């Protein structure tokens, strides 16, 4: 019985470690995508005329 409990605890620790690693990878990818979208928006805004130039 003790071996079964030990096996379950090891399974739970490994499962939690894998899930945590997957979450970190997903979070890094999401942060990178948000940064890319933001940079694209900044570049697009820089291409637009500002102020009085837009009225001409």
Q: What is the pLDDT of residue 20?
A: 84
Contact of 39 with 33, CB cutoff 8 Å: no
Q: What is the pLDDT of residue 25?
A: 85
Spatial neighbors of 54 by CB under 8 A, at least 6 apart, are: 48
The pLDDT tens digits for 13-55 are 999 988 888 888 888 899 999 999 988 888 887 776 665 655 5
Q: What is the pLDDT of residue 53?
A: 56
How many C-beta neighbours within 10 Å does residue 35 have? 10
Q: What is the pLDDT of residue 22?
A: 84
For residue 56, pLDDT over 70 is answered with: no
Residue 39 token pair: 């940079």
C-alpha torsion sign, points 21, 27, 28, 29: positive
């Amino acid at each position: 019985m003790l071996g079964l409990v030990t096996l379950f605890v090891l399974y739970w620790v490994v499962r939690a470690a894998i899930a945590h690693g997957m979450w970190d990878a997903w979070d890094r990818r999401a942060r990178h995508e948000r940064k890319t979208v933001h940079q694209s928006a900044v570049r697009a805004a820089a291409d637009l005329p500002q102020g009085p130039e837009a009225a001409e």
